[in-house]
């Protein structure tokens, strides 16, 4: 009797996926990585991998919670593979604002198995934990004398208002001559100052020495957790990730302005800086420009014209909408800044220095840089302060901010998969656990890395 025994080779897990307990949580992406090693055995695939059917990996499934609510529409799709690595596209939707009445937000990323170095990397868009607030929805607007704790009467140098839970704004103003760091050259890390001026703040206006910002004037806006009133030394800052400003009467090539954003590192509040952003007419949305890239975004309502609603905040024929997002000031490798304040100048007022050239677009394709643009008429190059020679006043009729919130966002995902060889032998289910830790940032209660981006 002849007995033939066939010993079928099978894949072997050498190192089960190791959870990343210290992920890299940046302003533009979150990365989770760890060790994972396997041997496919004698029934190895390749060297050509043309589809998911050829992959070393099968039955990939993503489940879990984001903001303590089950993620929606998770996908893990094979993208490419060779003998050294396998890449999968990942996506899911989540409750970004803890509001079941709003649409869930899409998160995209990649899962890469590095076969050569025995690791995995799971990289996704950062989750948000923000609230959106506006001047129009604000309450409790009051003016104060410097240092005053009781509301003042008449024109005053300080004004405050509550825009949302844990988010108050304080406005001060300066008029010419303006300087920064003791001279007229604005450097990173410097704010503009000048002679103190009275300010205006309401649900429909923000201005210096009236309800506009004139040439040679600067409006200074800071964010706080509690009402600072007239205290200019308050330190319980709140933070924003992006903002919009709506202007009335901003409609010609000669209209431009300068922003200086005051920034704090998302993971270390002792690290601060400022950056100047130059804005000309092509950097804003108007009713006679193509605004289709705002459709489907949270800014869409700002450009809609609803005839049935007389209060619909559409752009009329001389309005302009300015939008600044995280990737407009987080422009260098390693940047992880949040906004704690903004200065708005209607012209350069004799100041000089370099500036970020604003890209008006929103989302991933809307990032700004310091590169110059071609000069077209009165617009361009867009990356210096001194080119803002406009003498036209700025009339702000609304502004809104996406704020970080004291309720930390959460992420607890499980990614299951099997390793499979060319004759369909597979391992037991393997699991990658993806979680984020909660950390504290000085000045913010229980702020998590999930709160650090728009």
Same domain, 180 and 233: yes
d(C-alpha 100, C-alpha 208), whole Å: 40
Asked if residue 439 lies in contact with residue 425, where contact means CB atoms within 8 angstroms, the answer is no
Report the percentage of the chain scoring pLDDT > 70.
90
- HSE on the CB side for 361, CA within 13 Å? 10
pTM for the model: 0.67
Residue 168 forms part of a structural domain:
yes
> pLDDT, tens digit, for every residue of 384-417?
999 877 888 999 999 999 887 555 678 999 999 9
336 in the same domain as 246: yes
Residue 16 lies in a domain: yes
Choose among 180, 195, 242, 192: nearest CA to 220: 192
Integer Cα distance of 44 and 40 in angstroms = 6
List strand residue ranges (DSSP E) for 165-256, in order. Answer: 167-180, 192-197, 199-201, 206-208, 217-224, 240-248
Domain boundary among 404, 421, 443: 404
Amino acid 230: pLDDT: 97
Q: Is residue 344 included in any domain, yes or no?
A: yes
In a domain, 365, yes or no: yes
pLDDT score recorded for residue 117: 98
Choose one of 367, 382, 404: the last residue of a domain: 404
- The single residue listed with the structure tokens 């190059």 is 381
Least confident of 26-35, 214-223, 331-340, 361-370: 26-35
80: which 2 tokens?
Answer: 């490419």
Q: How far apart are CA 224 and CA 244, in angstroms?
A: 18
Enumerate residues 6+ apart whose C-beta is below 8 A from 289: none
pLDDT for 68-94, tens place per residue? 899 999 999 999 999 999 999 999 999
Is residue 5 one of the residues assigned to a domain?
no
Burial of 424 (0-12, 13-18, 19+ CB in 10 A): exposed
Same domain (yes/no): 108, 171: no
Is the residue at 398 inside a domain? yes
pLDDT at 7 over 70: no
Please report whether residue 353 resides in a domain. yes
Interatomic CA distance for residues 20 and 432, integer angstroms: 9
Count: domains in the chain: 2
pLDDT at 409: 75
Phi, psi of 133 (to 5 degrees): -130, 155
Domain that holds residue 29: 12-127+407-451
Q: Is residue 3, in this structure, part of any structural domain at all?
A: no
Which position has the higher pLDDT, 171 or 402? 171
Secondary structure tally for the chain: helices H, strands E: 0, 27
Q: Are residues 193 and 103 in the same domain?
A: no
């Amino acid at each position: 009797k002849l007995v033939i025994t066939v010993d079928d080779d099978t894949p072997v897990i050498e190192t089960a996926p190791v959870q990343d307990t210290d992920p890299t949580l940046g302003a533009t992406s979150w990365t989770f990585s760890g060790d994972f090693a396997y041997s496919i055995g004698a029934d190895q695939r390749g060297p050509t991998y043309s589809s998911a059917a050829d992959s070393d990996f099968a039955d990939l499934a993503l489940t879990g919670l984001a903001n303590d609510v089950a993620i929606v529409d998770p996908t893990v799709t094979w993208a490419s593979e060779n003998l050294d690595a396998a890449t999968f596209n990942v996506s899911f939707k989540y409750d970004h604002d803890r509001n079941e009445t709003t649409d869930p937000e899409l998160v995209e990323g990649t899962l890469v198995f590095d076969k050569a170095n025995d690791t995995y990397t799971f990289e996704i868009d950062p989750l948000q934990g923000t609230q959106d607030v506006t001047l129009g929805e604000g309450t409790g607007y009051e003016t104060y004398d410097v240092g005053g704790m009781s509301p003042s009467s008449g024109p005053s140098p300080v004004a405050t208002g509550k825009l949302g839970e844990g988010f108050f704004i304080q406005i001060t103003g300066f008029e010419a001559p303006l300087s920064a760091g003791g001279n007229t050259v604005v450097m990173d890390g410097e704010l503009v100052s000048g002679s103190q001026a009275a300010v205006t703040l309401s649900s429909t206006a923000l201005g210096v020495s009236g309800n506009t910002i004139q040439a040679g004037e600067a409006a200074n806006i800071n964010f706080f957790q509690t009402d600072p009133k007239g205290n200019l030394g308050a330190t319980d800052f709140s933070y924003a990730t992006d903002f919009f400003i709506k202007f009335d009467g901003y409609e010609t090539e000669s209209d431009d302005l300068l922003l200086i954003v005051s920034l704090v590192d998302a993971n270390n509040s002792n690290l601060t800086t400022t950056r100047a952003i130059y804005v000309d007419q092509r950097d804003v949305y108007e009713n006679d420009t193509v605004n289709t890239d705002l459709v489907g975004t949270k800014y869409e309502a700002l450009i809609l014209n609803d005839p049935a609603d007389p209060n619909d905040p559409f752009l009329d024929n001389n309005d302009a909408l300015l939008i600044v997002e995280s990737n407009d000031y987080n422009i260098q490798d390693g940047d992880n800044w949040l906004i704690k304040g903004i200065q708005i100048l209607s012209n350069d007022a004799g100041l000089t220095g370099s500036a970020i050239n604003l890209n008006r677009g929103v989302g991933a394709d809307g990032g700004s840089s310091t590169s110059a643009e071609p000069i077209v008429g009165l617009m361009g190059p867009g990356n210096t302060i001194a080119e803002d020679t406009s003498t036209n006043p700025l009339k702000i009729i609304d502004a809104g901010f996406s704020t970080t919130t004291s309720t930390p966002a959460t992420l607890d995902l499980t990614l299951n998969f099997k390793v499979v060889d060319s004759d369909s032998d597979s391992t037991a289910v393997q699991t990658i656990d993806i979680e984020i830790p909660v950390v504290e940032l000085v000045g913010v209660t229980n702020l998590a890395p999930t709160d650090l981006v728009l």
